[in-house]
Chains A and B, each alone.
Chain A
Amino acid sequence: MNAPLTHAPAAAEADEHLSGRNIRLGLRGKQILDSVDFTARPGEVTAIVGPNGSGKTTLLRCLTGEIAGQCAPGSTIRMGALDVTRAEPWLLAQRRAVLAQATSLAFPFTVLEVVRLGAEGAGGAARARQALAQVDLGHYAERYYQELSGGEQQRVQLARVLAQLDAPRGHHGPRWLFLDEPVSALDIGHQLQVMEIARAFARNGGGVVAVMHDLNLTAMFAQEVVLLNQGRVLGAGAPAEVLTDRLLETAYGCRLRIGVAPRDGLFLLPQTAEQGN
C-alpha cells in the first residue's frame, strides 16, 4: 500500500512529505531544538526517540503547529504544500490529529461524548462508535471518562484522534497522526494494539509520527527513526541504521548492546545495559 503502484515524479512525492528544515527553538534562553532537520513520509511510522529532555516532545509540538510560531526565523515546517508555521488551526485540524501524553477533562463527559468532540458533522456519531470499537472500548460508550483508568482514558483519546481524521487520506493528500508516547500508560497487549492501529493507519496511506520511549516497539513498528540528543539530531534513518550500539550509547549515556532476534528485526533489553561509563 505504501509503495506507489506507478512511479510518480519525485517532486510530487516530496510534496506529500512532512518536513522540517533547520528547526531552531529557544525557551527562556535555553536552546531546546538546534538546527533539526526532519522528514516523515506517508505510508510509514516515523519514531522520534531520545533520552529525557532531548527535545522529542518539543519537536512534536513544532511539527503539529502548536508552537511552530515560536521557532526561530529560518525554521521551516511543511506538511505537503502547507506551511505549518502559518496555517490556520482549522486547516491543520483537517490534516492532522494529535494524541497527547495525558489529557485531563474539565467536565463530566461520557466516553462517547469525548470521542464526538473529535467527530463533528454528519455521520459523526457513527464515526465515533467505529473509532471506539477500534480501540476495543465500544462497550464503554456511556461510562464517564473520569471513571476510567489512565490507560483506558488514553485509548479513548486515541479514538477521539482517529475520529477527527476519519480516513488516513483526504482529497488533499495524506493525513497525519501525531502520537506523544502513545503506549507509556498501557499494558503490553494494548501497547501492541495501539501500535498496530498506527501501523494500519500508515499502511492505508496516512503518515504517523510518534515520540517513543520503548526502543523495542520502535524497532518493531517504525520504518524511520529520528534519534535526538540535547536538541540535535544524532541519527535518522531505518531502525537498523539508527538503533546501533554506538549511537544509543552516545544518546542515553549508558552502554547498551543491540541483540538481533533469530527472525529479522531488532530487539533490545534493559538487561544488556552495563554498569559504568
Chain B
Amino acid sequence: MVALPHPEAPALEHGDRRRRARQLRLVLAGVLLVTVLLSLAVGAAGTSLWQSLAAVLRGEAIPLSDSIVLWQIRAPRTLMGMGVGAALAVSGALMQGLFRNPLADPGIVGVSAGAGLGAITAIVLGAFLPLGLLTALGFYLVPLAAFLGSWLSTILLYRVATRSGRTSVAVMLLAGIALGALTGAASGVMVYIADDNQLRDLTFWGMGSLAGATWPKVLTGMAVILPALCAAPLLARGLNALSLGEAAAYHLGIRIQRVKNLAILAVAAATGAAVAMSGGIGFVGIVVPHLLRLVSGPDHRELLPNAALLGAALLLVADIISRVVIAPAELPIGIVTAILGGPFFLWILLRQRGVLDL
C-alpha cells in the first residue's frame, strides 16, 4: 500500500478491511464457479448431467438430448440466474448507499413493484402499440417498460423520503408501502383487462422463476443489466463519501447530484431487467450486502463487486433448491428466497433495533 518501506508497515492493515475484502472476492469467485457447475449439472430426477458436463469439459461429444438440455435449457437459465442475482444484490447495495440506509432495498420499498407494473403493462397493453414500434422493440419491450417503472418509482421515493440529504427510515418505508399499494392496484387493473393467455404469463412471471429462460430473453436482459453492473464501481467513491452525509461528500470533492442520478439510473436498470426476466424475487438485495458488510466492511469499492458475485451464487443456489426440492415439479424461486430471506431480514431488524432510529 505504501511505496516506501515503513517501520510500521504491517500495522497499517489494522482497522482497514480492504485486504480481507479482496481475499473474500477470490473465495466468492470460487463459490460462484462451483454453483455454476452445479446449476448446469443438477436437475429434476434422472436428468443429472455430470457425465455429459465432464465430457464437454474434456472436449468430447455428448448425446444430442443431453446437449439440448445443457445448451438450450440449463445454460441460459444459469446465465439468467447469475445476471438476476448480481443485479438484485448490486441494486440493493447501491440503493442502500444512495439512501444512506442499510434497510433500503428495491423489493422492500416498492421499486420492484414499480418495475413489475411496468412489465405487466407492457405484457397486457404492448399489443396496442403501433406494429412498427413493437417489432423494433421486440424482446426489449418488457425490460424497458420494467426499467421505466422502477426508475420512476425510485425517483418518486427519493423525493418523498429525502429532505436536504437526510433520509428518514420511517418515511422511506411508509412511502414504499404507499407505492406498493398504488402499483399493486394498477397492476390489478391490468390483470383485469388481460386475456387468458396473458393471464397465464403473468401468473408464472409474478411468482418469480428462472424457468422461462431462453437465449433471446436472457441476452436482452443481460444487455440492460451489464451496463448497470459496470457503472456501479464508478459510483463507489461517491457512495463512500455520501455515507458521511451530503455536505461532507461535497467537501471531499464529489459531484453529489451526478452520483445520485447515476445511482438511481443503475438501480432502475438492474432492478427493472431483473424483475422483467424473473418476476418477484425478494430479499437478495438486502441479505447479500448486509452479510458482506459484516465480514469485510462497508467500503463500496469492495462491496459492489463482492455483492455481484455473492448475489449470483446465492440465486443459483436458491434456483437449484427450487428445482430439486419437489422434483420433478418446481418451486417458484421467489418462494425459496423469501423463506431464506424473510427470517434474515427480521434478524437484522432485531439486531439494529437499538441503533436504527425508527
Q: Which A residues have a C-beta under 8 Å from some C-beta of B?
A: 61, 64-66, 88-94, 96-98, 100, 103-114, 116-118, 120, 122-126, 129, 141-143, 146, 164
Contacts and interface: CB of A to CB of B under 8 A. Distances in A.
Contacts of A126: 2, 6, 12
Interface stretch (B122-130, B237-245, B280-288): B237-245
Contacts of B2: 122-123, 125-126
A90 B254 CA distance: 6
Nearest to B249: A89
A94 B251 CA distance: 10
A142 B248 contact: no
A125 B252 CA distance: 17
A117 B293 CA distance: 16
B251 A97 contact: yes
B16 A117 contact: no
A89 B257 CA distance: 11
Contacts of B299: 109, 113
A110 B298 CA distance: 9
A93 B244 contact: no
Contact of B297 (A103, A113, A143): A113
A116 B1 CA distance: 12
A96 B251 CA distance: 8
Contact of B253 (A93, A106, A110): A93
9 contacts: A66-B250, A89-B253, A109-B297, A113-B16, A116-B16, A123-B2, A123-B3, A126-B12, A129-B8
B209 to A, nearest CB: 33
B352 to A, nearest CB: 10
Contact of B243 (A107, A142, A164): A107
Given A92-B253, A107-B102, A113 B245 contact: no
A142 B297 CA distance: 12
A117 B241 contact: yes
B355 interface: yes
B1 A64 contact: no
A66 B252 contact: no
A113 B17 contact: yes
A205 to B, nearest CB: 21
Q: Which of B2, B3, B97, B251 has the most CB of A within 10 A?
A: B251
A110 B297 contact: yes
B255 interface: yes
Q: Chain B interface mostly helix, strand, loop or mixed?
A: loop
A110 B252 contact: no
B248 A100 contact: yes
Given A66-B250, A92-B253, A113-B17, A125 B241 contact: no
B101 interface: yes
A110 B15 contact: yes
A105 B244 contact: yes
Contacts of A124: 1
Interface in B106-133: none
B260 interface: no
B243 A118 contact: no
Contacts of A110: 15-17, 297
B158 to A, nearest CB: 15
B100 interface: yes
B247 interface: yes
Contact of A125 (B16, B237, B250, B256): B16
Interface in B205-245: 237, 240-245
A60 to B, nearest CB: 11
Contacts of A90: 253-255
B14 A112 contact: yes
Nearest to B244: A103
B128 to A, nearest CB: 44
A217 to B, nearest CB: 23
Given A103-B245, A106-B101, A111 B3 contact: no
A106 B243 contact: yes
A146 B355 contact: yes
Interface string B240-282: 1111110110111111100000000000000000000000000
Nearest to A110: B15
A166 B247 CA distance: 20
Contacts of A141: 14-15
Contact of A98 (B102, B237, B251, B355): B251
A234 B2 CA distance: 49
Nearest to A65: B250
Nearest to B2: A126
Given A92-B253, A97-B251, A113-B299, A107 B293 contact: yes
Contacts of B254: 89-90
Given A125-B1, A125-B2, A89 B250 contact: yes
Contacts of A112: 14-16
Contacts of A97: 251
Given A89-B253, A90-B253, A125-B2, A109 B14 contact: no
Given A98-B247, A104-B245, 18 more contacts: A66-B250, A89-B250, A89-B253, A89-B256, A90-B254, A92-B251, A92-B253, A93-B253, A97-B251, A98-B251, A106-B100, A107-B102, A110-B16, A113-B16, A117-B252, A118-B252, A120-B237, A129-B8
Contacts of B12: 125-126, 129
